[in-house]
Every structure is written in C-alpha cells, then in structure tokens.
Amino acid sequence: MTTESLEGKVAIVTGAGRGLGRAMAEALAEAGAAVTVAARTESELDSFVDEVKSAGGAALACPTDVTDESSVERMVTATVDTFGRVDILVNNSGIVATSPLVDQSAQEWDRVIATNLRGTFLATRAAGRHLVAQGSGKVINIASNFALQGIARHAAYSASKAAILGFTRSMAVEWAPHGVQVNALAPGYFATALNADVHGDPDMLARVVRAIPARRMGSPDELKPWLLLLAGSASDFMTGEFIVIDGGQSVR
C-alpha cells in the first residue's frame, strides 16, 4: 500500500502516549503531518514530541482528559493556535474493564463509557467545528472487533465500541455534505500495553491465539497503513465505514 504524503496536514491523536495510539501518531508524523498527541501521562507525550522534532517534524504534547469537556476544548484550541488548523482527528482513547456484569459497579461501567464513548463525542465535536467550517477533514474512530461479537466479561467495553460504530455512521451522513469523512478502524488483539495481561501470560496468550484464525496477535505496525488510508485523499469518497483488522477472529 503506497503511503500518501500528509505534508501540510495537522492531526490530533488521543490516547497517544503508548500502544496503538503512539503507533498511529508515529505513522502520521512519518507521513509528514504535524501531530498533537493527547493523553493523561505527560511524560509519554513529551518523549514522542522529542522524537518527532529530532527527526525534523512538528509535534505538540497536550495532556488531556477526554472525559472532561473543557480539557478537550483546550486540546483543539492549542492545536489550532500552534499549527493554524486541524485536518485529521484520531479518537483512540479507551480503557477496558474486565468483570462479570453482576459484579461490575455502576462507577466502573460509567468510567468505561465516559472514556471510550463520551471522549469520542467530545473530541469529534470540538475538532468538527473546524473541519466543517473549512469544508474538509478526516475523523478516524478506533472501535474494536469486540463490537461485532459477544465477549464475556467485557460488556461495558463491547457496548462502548459498538456505540462508536453507530456514532461513526451518523456523523458520516451528517458531515458528508461538508467534505468531512468519518470512518472507523476495528482492531482485534494487538501486542500492546492494553493487552499486557494477555501477552504477558503464556496460558492466556495461548487461549487467545487459538481464537484467532491467523494464530497470532497483531503488531502495531500492521495498523499504520490502514490509518494512513483513512487519513489521506484515497478515502475521500469513503465514509461511514469500518475496517476490521483482527486476524479473522470476528468471522470465525
């Protein structure tokens, strides 16, 4: 897959401190975009910015709580103030809660929904004002293959990711007349910190891998080309869609 240059474009990636978020921010920077990286852990963001700047790129660290409206608004304002515009938003912030529903507290449920779904709404709304006004832009929501299949002990996470697919379709229709495309990526199991409990436990890893037809977890680098497809002009006539990257787990 040929990588399109994103020179002159400005991107925001939430949940960019580690894992898939960091990998996607790296892909955008490598393609030439100026990148605002947002997460709660400032030290992780600073290290990314240092790496990008040392390679001759442009990046901004913006500590952000995606569940907080004012924090998200500051993130977008800082991006526009620093780079003059925003063209690409990657809604990646997300958390997982693993427990039987009968034992799950309302607070834990609310925390997952607030981070995964409310955070996507707040960031999309804040960045969307600029995208709609300029008549162009890309919103890329990170869902999950868990939105497409029943997974025990993951009710809150699965519900939040399924809702993101519905949100993606709705916003795609609403913003298509304004030249803004809204699509989603739905990753499966990738070898990241989010899944450390899996790839750090040989027995659990073996059980997970048995459920994946490809018989392995994904590498963050395997997500980058699909992100760049949705971030570039090749997807200008594609909106409201989602791409599943899970080694066949959701279709077995």
> Which residue in the list 146, 157, 167, 242 is annotated as catalytic?
157
The answer for residues whose C-beta is within 8 angstroms of residue 203's C-beta and 6 or more apart is none
Alpha-carbon separation of residue 124 from 47, 133, 139, 181, 231 (angstroms): 26, 14, 7, 12, 15
With beta carbons less than 8 A apart as the criterion, state whether 184 and 144 touch. no
The answer for residues whose C-beta is within 8 angstroms of residue 197's C-beta and 6 or more apart is 204
The answer for residues whose C-beta is within 8 angstroms of residue 4's C-beta and 6 or more apart is 31, 228, 232, 233, 234
Residue 189 known to be catalytic: no
Q: How far apart are CA 200 and CA 203, in angstroms?
A: 9
CB atoms within 10 A of CB 2: 8
Which of the residues are catalytic?
Answer: 157
